[in-house]
Amino acid sequence: MTGIKHHLNDALLMAYSAGTLPEAFSLVVATHISMCDDCRAALAAHDAVGGALLEDTAEVELAPEALDKCLAAIQALPPKGPIKLPKSMTNGSAPRSSVFPSPLAEYVKGDVEDVNWRSVGLGVRQAILPTSKEASVRLLYIPAGAEVPDHGHHGTELTLVLQGAFRDEFDRFGPGDIEVADPNVEHTPVAEAGEACICLAATDAPLKFRSILPKIAQPFLRI
């Protein structure tokens, strides 16, 4: 995708390459990489460096029973059912337009129409996706012109735009752009006019809201 102005930083790319990111962050990073040629090339460079380091690592002898244990573990996995093709590929009809890139579409097993959205007020909707406990990730549907309450961050927040665009005190973020917010960032994202803004956002700590109503709702909305 061309026109992407806001990219992943080297720390996130290196952590993703090393497999040390929480599942929620990995999903956002993988989705952005699928949309961004620049970050995909940068990740390939990090992977190459990691491979070179592995080649220089001393070999470790495996226990004699290691292979047997590995094969036994594979055989113990539950069998997978038959692969089901989407209806659009089996009934001759045209496929639906896709908002979700492949990594996200595979994760949620569908697209926008298949998400179990829940209202959080003022037309904004969210869907929390199941991941490991180290961090959380959610889909956000923000109507055109609507704003997210002013907030700061106790930790890191990655916000990837999938459709539409939003602006905050720092810049404009359109499709494919990713905003990396830390405890030094306080902002009020506002969806641009036109179409609804759909984002994928991951956090590893609760947000810091200033207004009383978002603070009251925060435990129930898990943000």
Task: Specify the pLDDT at position 57.
Answer: 54
DSSP 8-state secondary structure symbol assigned to residue 206: -
Once rounded to an integer, what is the mean pLDDT over residues 71-77?
A: 71
* pLDDT, tens only, 173-190: 999 999 999 999 999 999
Once rounded to an integer, what is the mean pLDDT over residues 158-176?
A: 97
Residue 50: pLDDT over 60? no
Q: Which residue, chain included where needed, has tokens 């199941």?
A: 130
Helix ranges restricted to H, 56-139: 66-75, 87-90, 102-108
Q: Which residue, chain included where needed, has tokens 């994202």?
A: 189
Residue 38: pLDDT over 60? yes
Contact between residue 163 and residue 104 where contact means Cβ atoms under 8 Å apart: no
Specify the range with the lowest mean pLDDT, choosing from 7-11, 50-54, 58-62, 152-156: 50-54
Domain boundaries, given as residue ranges, for the chain: 1-223
Residue 12: pLDDT over 70? yes
Bridge partners for 118 per DSSP: 126
pTM of structure: 0.79
Multiple choice CATH, 1-223, 3.20.19.10, 2.60.120.10, 1.10.10.10, 2.40.50.140: 2.60.120.10
Contact between residue 206 and residue 154 where contact means Cβ atoms under 8 Å apart: yes
